[in-house]
Structure 1
Amino acid sequence: MTAAVCRVCGRRLRSEKARARGIGPVCARRTRQQPAPHIPTPAPDHHVPGQVELPLVHHQPTLWSR
């Protein structure tokens, strides 16, 4: 399937390679897939260094208790 215009900007495609790709050379350079930056996964809130975790006792009132 060949396209007559660029799918990104709508300009007329001149080369056969661009028509086959469906996107012009300028838009292809602009939209080239870049590797996503590595963002470290945050640690869960219940693993804060130095924090003491108290056990939830059955009779202890909670936010959802009546």
Structure 2
Amino acid sequence: MTAPACRVCGRPLRSEASRARGVGPICHRRTHSHTAVRIPTPPADHHVDGQTELPLDHHQPTLWSL
């Protein structure tokens, strides 16, 4: 199935590869960027030397929350 227009921006698709993909080359680069920075999530048992755990307190009401 080929698409006559880009599914992202609606511009007409000219190349056969873009029609088969359904997305134009510019929108394809934007949505499939390989330069995105990925931040690794720390493991559940992580500990940083010298870092102190703070107790979690309930939210204290402020003037703005009343």
- Which bin holds the TM-score, normalised by the shorter protein? 0.5 to 0.7
CA distance in 2: counterparts of 1:17 and 1:6, whole angstroms = 12
Aligned pair count reads 49
* CA–CA distance in structure 2, aligned partners of residues 43 and 3 of structure 1: 45
Matching residue of 1:32: 32
Length-normalised TM-score, structure 1? 0.55
RMSD: 2.8
Is the aligned partner of 1:17 residue 2:28?
no
Which consecutive residues of structure 2, in runs of 5 or more, have no partner in the other structure? 50-66
Between the aligned partners of 2:41 and 2:18, the Cα distance in structure 1 is 38
Larger Rg: 1
Percentage of pairs with the same residue: 57
2:42 matched residue in structure 1 = 41
Where in structure 1 are there 5+ consecutive unaligned residues? Answer: 50-66
